[in-house]
Amino acid sequence: MIKLFRFLKPYWFLVVLTLGLVFLQSMADLYLPTLMSSIINDGVMKGNTDKILEIGAWMLAVTGGGMLVSIVSSLLSSRVALGMGRDIRSRLFRKVTSFSLEEYDHFGAATLITRNTNDIVQVVNVTVMILRMMVAAPLMMAGGILMAYSEDAGLTWVLGVAVPVLLVLILALAGKALPLFQAMQKRIDRINLVLREKLTGIRVIRAFGREQREAERFGQANEELTDTYIKVNVIMAFMMPGIMLIMSCTQLAILWFGIIRIDAGDMQIGSLMAFTQYAVQILMSLMMVSMVFIMVPRASSAAKRLNEVLAVDPTINDPGANADAVAPAVLGESAAKGTVEFRNVSFRYHGAEQNALENLSFVAQPGQVTAIIGSTGAGKTSLLNLIPRFYDVAEGQVLVGGVDVKAQTQADLRGKLGYIPQKALLFTGTIEDNLRQGKADASETELATALRVAQAQEFVTEMEGGLQHTLAQGGTNVSGGQKQRLSIARALVRRPEVYLFDDSFSALDYRTDRDLRTALKAETKDATVLLVAQRVGTIRDADQILVLDEGKLVGQGTHNQLLDNCPTYQEIVASQLSQEEAR
């Protein structure tokens, strides 16, 4: 929690001003019972109307001033806390966007969303409470005890009994609530995870008739969260009645023993009234502390989760950002612009027992199409993910344009690449907005050319609004093949040095696949093209084909060469084409 308070530094003046105003408000609250004692003892009891009016005017002024100060301090504390929350949220977002896929895999999307929303709200709420009460509660307690003692020392023993009892109650209940608050955040993560999977996988769930099963999963997560909330509320239910019981017993004891002292002539009525008010203020300050104790454990758990994210050092950094993570630049011999080279590359996913890729070496030249094929799990997508540094190699080097990717900034490296993912992803907005993700300042001609080459111009023209047609979240209002073609068009708009097609033709029919590859050949003639595919028909005309099997490169060459010397490729071809079609 304390680590997050560094975000208060930009607001130090407002923090000091807020604490100063809270101090003034506390002084006003402590001064009012003294004025009430004076108005009773020196005014009412003596029948002095002028004294009553004079002190009454002071009481009205102090009350009005305290109210004004309270309003201003509340506004300032809210401004500080919400500003801090905004800064934490921005910092967390920047940190998450700097993560490699390894860090994303470690945390998971559901918990990152919860931490950036619910957890920050908990920290903001407790910050407001602390700014309003960190000065007021101790001051009211200490000041109240001193002022009560000055009114009548003989009754102070009542407070000496009540305050420790109240503190023990608060600490005991808070100690039981802390583990439950920590568990609550995990329960919220769980329910967000289940809900997210339910919403994103609704088609699969319905297709397999698993609605009931998913309802049970959500119900279980919901019950766990509800049970935790109930346990917390049961504990908290004892706190307020317990506090009120102690406060009532304390007031009763003060009145009982105070009246005895008044009868004995040792105390005045005004002093008893003031003493009662100070006792209420003391116990109310402890009540404020109890409210903080209710919120601090949960906020502390939330702050810990936020610090876990902020403390992570991304494993992939730009040159100079992390000396240990950056290899020196390695220039290839007369490497052309856009050349992609793998030198003895091995790669393993975090926590995996064996390598996903093993000792790969090849060169993809500009003006050529390098196709990658292999069985499911052979490492095709893993290979492609190493080029834009979504992951870093465990051994060896990946070079783009003759320079090690680790020696280039991520922005510069990815600016050279046009990436079309295996699962086409479109963003909410117009078709034009999605195409401009590839190049923000693309001209209308460039957009039209990209759509034509990607075989998307026809269906885009037929849509209402054309390029201004609005896509739903995830592009759910277009077909799978249309999403793939729009993703390809987005990359084409960029006109990169290297194209990375990760099985980007899988949703296309054979005719569209053929027409698209024919148009691409002319459009990408000066660029390096790496193409992952499952269909032999998509890659048979490639300049070189890389055959992967269990992460190893078991074949490299043209279609005809591999048919002669690569058994793995022969098996793939035989499963898809007849002998006549293969040749």
Specify whether the CB–CB gap between 164 and 281 falls below 8 A.
no
pLDDT at 548: 92
With both helix axes pointing from N to C terminus, report the angle between 269-310 and 49-97 in degrees, rounded to the nearest 10: 10
Euclidean distance between the first and the last CA atom of the chain, given in angstroms as a whole number: 68
Q: 49-97 and 120-133 are packed helices; what angle lies between their axes, rounded to 10 degrees? A: 150
Residue 511 CA to residue 507 CA, distance in Å, equals 12
Dist. CA 122–CA 119, nearest whole Å: 5
Taking Cα atoms as reference points, which of 247, 241, 246, 239 lies closest to residue 294?
239
Name the token pair of 442.
Answer: 């693309």
User: CA neighbours within 13 Å on the CB side: how many for 344?
Assistant: 2
Token reading at 483: 């999403």
Q: How far apart are CA 414 and CA 308, in angstroms?
A: 28
Contact predicate 152/261, CB 8 Å: yes
Cβ-count burial 416-444 (b if 16+ within 10 Å, e if not) = bbbbbbeebebeeebbbebbbbbbeebee
**Beta-strand pair 498-502/552-557:** unpaired
Q: What is the DSSP string of 396-448?
A: EEEEETTEEGGGS-HHHHHHTEEEE-SS----SEEHHHHHTTT-TT--HHHHH
Return the structure tokens found at 285: 């300050």
- DSSP one-letter string for 22-76: HHHHHHHHHHHHHHHHHIIIIIITTT-HHHHHHHHHHHHHHHHHHHHHHHHHHHH
For residue 582, the model assigns a pLDDT of 56
> Considering the entire predicted model, what is its pTM?
0.71
| Distance of alpha carbon 188 from alpha carbon 136, whole angstroms | 33
Whether residue 499 contacts residue 528, with contact meaning beta carbons closer than 8 Å, is answered with yes
Contact 115, 304 (CB under 8 A): no
The residues pairing with 253 across neighbouring beta strands, listed in sequence order, are none
- From the number of C-beta atoms within 10 Å of its C-beta (0-12, 13-18, 19+), residue 148 rates as buried
Q: Kindly give, in sequence order, each residue whose CB lies less than 8 Å from that of residue 544, ignoring residues fewer than 6 positions away.
A: 362, 364, 368, 369, 370, 371, 556, 557, 558
Residue 331: what pLDDT?
A: 46
| Amino acid 330: pLDDT | 47
Q: How far is CA 249 from CA 12, 219, 245, 566, in A?
A: 42, 45, 6, 91
Write down all domains in the chain, each with its CATH number in brackets: 2-310 (1.20.1560.10), 429-474+485-495 (no CATH)
Q: What's the helix, strand, coil split of the chain in %, to 5?
A: 65, 10, 25
Q: How many CB atoms lie within 10 A of CB 25?
A: 25
Rama region for 382: left / alpha / beta (φ>0; ψ in -120 to 50; rest)? alpha
Q: How far apart (Å, rounded) are the C-alpha atoms in residues 578 and 97?
A: 48
Contacts of 387 (CB under 8 A, 6+ apart): 340, 398, 400, 405, 417, 498, 500, 530
Other Cβ atoms closer than 10 A to 47: 8
What local confidence, expressed as pLDDT, does residue 329 receive?
Answer: 46
What is the model's pLDDT at position 99? 85
Residue 134: its pLDDT value, please?
74
pLDDT average per 10 residues of sequence, the chain (583 residues): 75 88 84 78 73 84 88 91 91 88 80 85 87 80 82 82 83 77 77 78 77 85 88 80 83 86 81 83 79 74 85 82 44 67 91 88 92 88 91 92 90 90 85 89 90 89 88 80 89 91 81 85 88 86 90 90 89 76 57
Q: What is the pLDDT of residue 2?
A: 61
pLDDT on residue 19: 86
Residues 6+ apart with CB under 8 A from 581: none
